[in-house]
Structure 1
Amino acid sequence: MTTPEPESRTDTTPATVTSASTDSIRKALKGYRIFAWVTGVWLIALCYEMVLKYGFGDDSLSWIAVVHGWVYFVYLLFAANLAVKVRWPIGKTVGVLLAGTIPLLGIVVEHFQTKRIKADFGV
């Protein structure tokens, strides 16, 4: 007696997810969304700080770079966590991680990824 071969998936839709994994994806998505916005705001603040520093010689807001660095690090963790849970390919994962380095792009990418994840996983 042979065991049947599992069907190979040729489409790009995600596999059926359980309620436990849906809840896990929902939590990961929430953290990613929050830190995409927080990172975007701190990146704008960092640009302001750079203009003051290099344009006007005012180095009084240099602490913004440190805060942004830590916020971006946490964003990387949340985005990577979401990527693992929804099984993004490595190229897409790297693209989302790098989106947090360009002012406002991380927020735009977050919008479209959230829309897609909600549609694909029903969260």
Structure 2
Amino acid sequence: MSSPNPAQVPQIKKVLRFYKASSYVTGGFLILLMITWGIRRLPFLGFDLWLLGPNGFFSFEQYGVDGEGLPDVGFNLTVWILIIHGWLYVVYLFADFRIWTLMRWSFTRFLLIALGGVIPFLSFYTENRYAKMAHEQLAKLEGK
């Protein structure tokens, strides 16, 4: 494993801030996703979160097989949380890729960071651990 290019330190610091932000946002949406999955999948629940539906601003709507019984108006927040997390994960992977390439880390480290966007709470751990590693490497590179 080689060390980062000293000329790229300012760029690395910006990418590191971007990585940290994407890590927290993606991790937060993953937790929301897991909550909505639980509300949807647990046998005694079987609800989707609904916004601006026929039963008010925010409601739990029970559904049958293949989404039968869901309102025709409003927004299915459960589905939107899934979609938003998917796109945030793409942004998280991009941030992971950028920090990985600039820091010149091993491919295994890239994969471990990437898992943070799909395993609940792992993004918070990986952000803490690898951001700290990056800051330490940058401090050594800058001679601090």
- What TM-score, normalized to structure 1? 0.83
Distance across 2 between alignment mates of 1:46 and 1:119: 33
The structure, 1 or 2, with the larger RCO (C-alpha pairs under 8 Å, 6+ apart) is: 1
Q: Normalization by structure 2: what TM-score?
A: 0.71
Matched with 2:67 is none
Larger Rg over CA atoms? 2
Large movers: runs of 4+ above 6 Å: none
1:87-119 Cα offsets, whole Å, 9 max, x none, are 111111111111221111111111011111111
TM-aligned CA deviation for residue 30 of structure 1: 0.6
Q: Are residues 1:17 and 2:6 paired?
A: yes
Partner SS for 2:47: coil
More helix by share: 1
Question: What are structure 2's unaligned runs of at least 5 residues?
Answer: 50-77
Cα separation, 1, equivalents of 2:4 and 2:87: 34
Whole-Å separation in 2 of the counterparts to 1:44 and 1:15: 33
How far apart are the structure 2 equivalents of 1:67 and 1:101?
13
Q: 1:75 corresponds to which residue?
A: 92
CA-based RMSD of the aligned residues comes to 1.6
Aligned residues: 110
Which residue type is aligned with residue 16 of structure 2?
L
Percentage of pairs with the same residue: 27
The 8 Å contact of residues 2 and 104 in structure 2, kept in 1 or not, is answered as no
| Structure 1: gaps of 5 or more residues | 1-11
> 1:49 matched to which residue of 2?
36
CA drift at 1:62: 2.1
Kindly state the Cα deviation for residue 15 of structure 1 after the two structures are TM-superposed. 5.4
- Quote how far apart the aligned CAs of 1:59 are: 2.2
Greater fraction of residues in strand? 2
Structure 1 residues 69 and 43: alpha-carbon distance in aligned structure 2, compared to 1, 3 A threshold: same
